[in-house]
Amino acid sequence: MVHLTFILDGGESIAAEDLRERPVDPVEKVMLLAARNHIRRRLDNLSCARHGESPRVVASGPSADRLTVSVEGCCPELADEATRVLGAGGSLDELFKPS
């Protein structure tokens, strides 16, 4: 399973598993949950073929609708593959565009 952490406005990190219990603005919480689901749908089944590790993702920004995603892995191959898979699924910006 992907390891996902959010950091809003330079504050403390919030693990994706803790989102429902954390005191976050309700609108931002919905946006973070949408981002979490988007990332998990694409990366939860991805692991390094050589090391068996999952990717680590940090989504940070000044607010939930302006997140920048960084991907790390046990090796460059995993990080590159996770970045490719996330990019192929569309960016987080597309989740929050007004319709």
Domain ranges of the chain: 3-90
Q: Distance (Å, rounded) from C-alpha 30 to C-alpha 51?
A: 34
Average pLDDT over residues 17-27: 86
Quick one: tokens of 48? Answer: 């390094």
Q: Name the pLDDT band for 97 (thresholds 50, 70, 90).
A: low
Residue 90, pLDDT score: 55
Average pLDDT, the chain: 88
**52 phi/psi in degrees, rounded to 5:** 75, 10
Residue 6, pLDDT score: 95
Average pLDDT over residues 94-99: 53
Which run of H or of E encompasses 38?
A: helix 26-43
